[in-house]
């Protein structure tokens, strides 16, 4: 099966190749740059290669193992899984560097499935969802966006995206509507919001591609705990990219992406209305 055929096949059964290709295509279209001076590039490259070479020496890596590594790296690229692999296994350290300069809400990794320009929604809103999604326990997620002094911030945005009950993200699984379970909420004049969505489920990172093979070869598991993805922003403030998890949920203490933090655990309360209710306030640092 070619990559294109595998991508098309996701219409009925999403695959790692399908979502990996979609993540790579999205990233390639963004064309990023970082203005890193040559001296810093040299220092980082030197240390990165030194660390890798030391691993080879420490573990006495053999030629057959080295060749398997080369083949696996080729597979990773051809499968379009570089964004997936890096976001799962490396991004949490980059985020940790950023977090060292922040006092407000703790951040977490963005992951490969963010899409900009989600539908604009008012401060009290329901995310776009399918009839199938409406059968899942609703989650009423409310709170306030505040500055470091505790003042609500009018005009702040809460961008939210998360997987459905099968673990798939819209635009990375073609059987889903384009903006399913995605939205860009503008808070009210006090910085408050109330979002109706569904209780997400834990999901596996794709297991049928080279990232899945990497996990399986170690005898490890590929699961992420249930989570909401968020980017909270406001004029004059530093935006925060984060995730929120659910207390007591599977894999909260054993996330394959190592992206959970104690400050990011929600405690939803089942209401008499058959819905889960939870509140979380976001605090933004100055820009
Ligand atoms: Fe996710």
Task: Express each pLDDT in 238-260 by its tens digit.
Answer: 999 999 999 999 999 999 988 99
Q: How much is the pTM?
A: 0.85
Contact criterion met (CB below 8 Å) for 13 and 206? no
Say how far apart CA 283 and CA 287 lie, in whole Å.
12
The rounded Å distance from CA 159 to ligand 1 centre is: 14
The rounded Å distance from CA 43 to ligand 1 centre is: 32
- 212-227 pLDDT, tens digit per residue, is 999 999 999 999 999 9
User: Closest by alpha carbon to 123, among 155, 152, 146?
Assistant: 155
Contact criterion met (CB below 8 Å) for 231 and 251? no
The rounded Å distance from CA 132 to ligand 1 centre is: 20
pLDDT of residue 28: 78
The rounded Å distance from CA 35 to ligand 1 centre is: 29
The rounded Å distance from CA 191 to ligand 1 centre is: 25
The rounded Å distance from CA 22 to ligand 1 centre is: 15
The neighbour count for residue 236, using CB atoms within 10 Å, is 10
DSSP calls for 182-212: EEEEEP-TTSEEEEEEE----EEPP-SSHHH
Q: Which pair of structure tokens corresponds to residue 107?
A: 């951040």
The rounded Å distance from CA 207 to ligand 1 centre is: 15
Contact criterion met (CB below 8 Å) for 117 and 231? no
């Amino acid at each position: 099966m070619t990559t294109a055929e595998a991508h098309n096949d996701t219409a009925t059964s999403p695959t790692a190749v399908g979502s990996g290709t979609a993540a790579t295509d999205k990233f390639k279209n963004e064309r990023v740059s970082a203005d890193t001076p040559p001296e810093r590039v040299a220092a980082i490259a030197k240390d990165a290669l030194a660390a890798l070479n030391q691993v080879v020496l420490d573990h006495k890596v053999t030629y057959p193992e080295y060749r398997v590594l080369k083949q696996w790296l080729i597979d990773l690229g051809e499968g379009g899984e570089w964004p997936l692999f890096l976001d799962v296994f490396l991004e949490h350290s980059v985020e940790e560097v950023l977090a060292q300069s922040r006092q407000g809400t703790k951040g977490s990794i963005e992951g490969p499935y963010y899409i900009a320009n989600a539908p604009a929604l008012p401060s009290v809103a329901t995310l776009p969802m399918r009839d199938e999604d409406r059968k899942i326990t609703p989650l009423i997620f409310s709170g306030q966006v505040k500055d470091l002094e505790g003042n609500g911030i009018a005009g702040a945005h809460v961008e939210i995206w998360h997987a459905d009950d099968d673990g798939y993200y819209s635009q990375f699984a073609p059987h889903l509507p384009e903006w399913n379970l995605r939205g860009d909420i503008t808070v009210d004049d006090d910085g408050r919001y109330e979002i109706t969505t569904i209780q997400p489920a834990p999901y596996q990172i794709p297991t049928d591609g080279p990232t899945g093979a990497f996990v399986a070869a170690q005898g490890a598991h590929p699961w992420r705990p249930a989570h909401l993805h968020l980017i909270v922003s406001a004029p004059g403030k530093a935006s925060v990219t984060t995730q929120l998890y659910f207390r007591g949920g599977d894999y909260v203490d054993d996330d394959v992406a190592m992206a959970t933090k104690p400050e990011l655990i929600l405690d939803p309360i089942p209401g008499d209305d058959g819905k889960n209710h939870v509140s979380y306030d976001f605090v933004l640092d100055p820009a």
